[in-house]
Structure 1
């Protein structure tokens, strides 16, 4: 059974892994319940930002956050980000 320390270490590894740097934002975590969900994104610059539904960041407009998944639009097109390994 995983504990919060293991999850935090995994998220930290994903957030700081320079090999996986991308030109696009990367989802590294989701938190909360439906009404107040938040997500952590690693931006192309390497910076980590916490976002909520309605936020605009890195060319994305966040439309939904579910466990392990973020839905957004980019230039009017739907985009789904999932956590690495899922």
Structure 2
């Protein structure tokens, strides 16, 4: 793919919602996966299970996304499509 096409694909306007946490990717062996998360303010963080994240704690990470435990509720954050 020509670099111009890659640049356009990687910088689509509106691809990420502002002020919302977005899961960019997951990686690593299945028994110790990590996730790349874009925080509402735009900062990108790498997290593991147990990490604090947006007022909650990362309960699990799998190939489909991550689960955040917050106020006794579990919320799945899916991978961006």
> Structures share a fold, TM > 0.5?
yes
Single out whichever of 42-51 and 19-28 deviates more from structure 2: 19-28
Q: Hey, what's the Cα distance between the residues in 2 that align with 1:22 and 1:78? A: 22
Q: How many residues align structurally?
A: 73
TM-score, normalising length from structure 2? 0.75
Which has the higher Rg, Structure 1 or Structure 2? 2
- Structure 1 residue ranges without an equivalent (≥5): 1-8
- Structure 2 residue ranges without an equivalent (≥5): 1-5
1:47 paired residue among 43, 49, 52: 43
Return structure 1 stretches of 4+ with deviation > 4 angstroms: none
Q: Deviations over 1:26-76 (max 9, x none)?
A: 111000122211000000000100000000022231011111310111222
Q: 1:59 to 1:34 in 2, by over 3 A?
A: same
